[in-house]
Amino acid sequence: MSTATTMRAGATIAATLYTVVLILLGLYPSQFRYLFAYIPAAVGYSVIVFDKWAWRWPIVHRFTGRPWVAGTWRVVLSPSPGSRIPVGGNRGPIVTYMTVEQTFWSLHATLRTRESTSRSSNATIGSPEISSTAEIGFLYDNTPRAEHQHRSPRHEGACRISVTGLTPRAAAGHYYTSRFTAGDMDFTLINRSTDYSTFTEAQSADPEHTTL
């Protein structure tokens, strides 16, 4: 269980148990004199609301300073000339789609190509107070479709992405893999949906999709 999930679960359980105890003691929130007794429970539920939604509300977002990157992105991969791409592999540029799920305290990315799916195993986002540019980094595990595993085995990798502004719609980054490949990444936000489960679904939502 991730730290963010643990925090949300803990806040929910604590706030709910506290509320139940107050009600069992006959301290109902409808009675003004007992209203302040519910402040700790309200704080617990507020932690959940903040983590999932409130942190990116317009006014609050300016204070949190954390870029909102959730959604589906078109990502063009450009392998470097020195990459050890196996015979028959795509030397690029390669159009892929990355779905990013985000709360204030958590981040998860899934990148899909025609041949494989990569899922982040550890993701972080750093937002320096004196800079409008944030750095996103994550490790990932890649699993190719069975038909391609004879030349493209499972592997691990890492990405580092730079985004500017609180609601970026474009970004750039680099990737590295355990197969001794590396390259550049260029991102364009398609929409805020995270409901696409395949490469084809994501591509169908891309108004400028290409067959690269």
Please report, rounded to a whole number, the percentage of residues in the chain having pLDDT higher than 90: 50
> What one-letter code names the amino acid at 65?
G
Which has more confidence, 161 or 28?
161
Instruction: Tell me what the mean pLDDT of segment 44-68 comes to.
Output: 89
Where does the pLDDT of residue 8 fall: very low under 50, low under 70, confident under 90, or very high at 90 and above? low
**Cα 65 to Cα 67: distance, rounded to the nearest angstrom:** 7
Q: Is the model's pLDDT at 210 over the cut of 60?
A: no
**The CA-based dihedral angle spanning residues 72, 59, 134, 162, taken in that order and rounded to the nearest 10 degrees:** 30
pLDDT at 150: 78
Which has more confidence, 11 or 155?
155
Where does the pLDDT of residue 48 fall: very low under 50, low under 70, confident under 90, or very high at 90 and above? confident
Show the tokens assigned to 204.
């169908």
Where does the pLDDT of residue 85 fall: very low under 50, low under 70, confident under 90, or very high at 90 and above? confident
Biggest CA-to-CA distance, the chain? 75
pLDDT at 5: 63
- Classify residue 139 by its DSSP letter: E
Show the tokens assigned to 169.
């719609």
